[in-house]
A and B are shown apart, each in its own frame.
Chain A
Amino acid sequence: MPEDYSSFLPLSPPAMHILLALASEDRHGYGIMQEVARESEGNYRIGPGTLYDNLQRLMGQGIVEAASTRARDDDPRRRYYRLTRFGRGLLTAEVERLDSVIRRARIHLRGNPRRAT
């Protein structure tokens, strides 16, 4: 039976960026912050307060989970996070939703602009 993501959509900007940062690999909190800044070319940054507030909710909803990934020389305070299967499906659903919004927007913008009278 397909999952129903409708009650979770649309994602808030911080949640969307966090899920995108985790889509490619498991990351610790600081890694997520850096990846968000890198992917947005420095235009969007999240602080630790916003990050962990969102991570707490995403973990509570079964979208993100703690991962056991750890390098040998890692600081023990670091914890890694990863997308769950549900989280990956949710991100895919959000990307498809955004894609359809953009397609519709392009169609409207390409049409002949009418001057208001």
Chain B
Amino acid sequence: MTRIVYRGLLWLHPSAFRRQFADEMLWIFDETHGTEAVTLLLSDVLISLARQWLLRSGAWKVAVAAAGGLIQLVLGGFGHMLVWRMHAVSRAGLDAGVDRLDLTRLIYIATGVLGGVMCSVIALTLWLRNFIGRRI
């Protein structure tokens, strides 16, 4: 049963790591005996899983960038609607159609968000490269 769990956790690792090392890690599991040692291996593979996805795969950079983009979308959208409403109120009062977003404005917002995501990815990559450097 524990072997199946261990194998499943190995399978959840990023594919490059799994292809390279999963067989060997499973072999080490097969060579290990005793409840305490097996428990240690299970905790080790859980930490490894988190480490590979969060630190090594780069998936977190995309997630952070997407979150940054969403924040920009929300803030930009609210700001845009607020300015637009104030402008509309000052010009013609509360007309019908004030809350309508036209296509041009949507394109502006989408372009801004896309640019924000790209800038975030580039900035995070450069920061990470400087932060970690080539230290082993």
A and B part of one assembly: yes
Residues of A within 8 A of B (CB): 7-8, 10-12, 15, 28-30, 33, 47-50, 52-58, 61, 63, 75, 77-79
User: Is the CB of B84 closer than 8 A to any CB of chain A?
Assistant: no
Say what secondary structure dominates the interface of chain A.
helix
9 cross-chain pairs, A with B, having the tightest CB-CB distances, nearest first: A49-B48, A47-B44, A52-B21, A77-B27, A77-B23, A49-B44, A7-B134, A15-B136, A48-B25
Do the beta carbons of A28 and B24 come within 8 Å of each other? Answer: yes
A45's closest neighbor in chain B, by CB?
Answer: B40
**Alpha-carbon gap, A96 to B126, bound state (A):** 32
Question: Is B45 in the interface zone, CB < 8 Å from A?
Answer: yes
With beta carbons under 8 angstroms apart, the residue of B26, B44, B49, B51 that contacts A77 is B26
In the bound complex, CA of A53 to CA of B21 (Å):
9
Among A12, A50, A52, contact of B24 (Cβ-Cβ < 8 Å): A52
A18 to B51, CA, bound (A): 19
Say if the beta carbon of B31 comes within 8 Å of chain A.
Answer: yes
How many positions in chain B have a CB within 8 Å of any CB in the partner chain?
A: 25
> In the docked arrangement, what's the CA distance between A79 and B28, Å?
12
Residues 119-136 of B contacting A (Cβ, < 8 Å) = 133-136
CB<8 Å pairs between A and B, sample of 21: A10-B135, A12-B136, A29-B21, A29-B28, A30-B24, A47-B44, A47-B45, A47-B47, A48-B44, A48-B48, A49-B45, A49-B51, A50-B47, A52-B20, A52-B21, A53-B48, A53-B51, A54-B136, A55-B21, A77-B26, A78-B24
B contact residues vs A (CB 8 Å cutoff): 17, 20-21, 23-29, 31, 40-41, 44-45, 47-49, 51-52, 56, 133-136
A48 to B48, CA, bound (A): 9
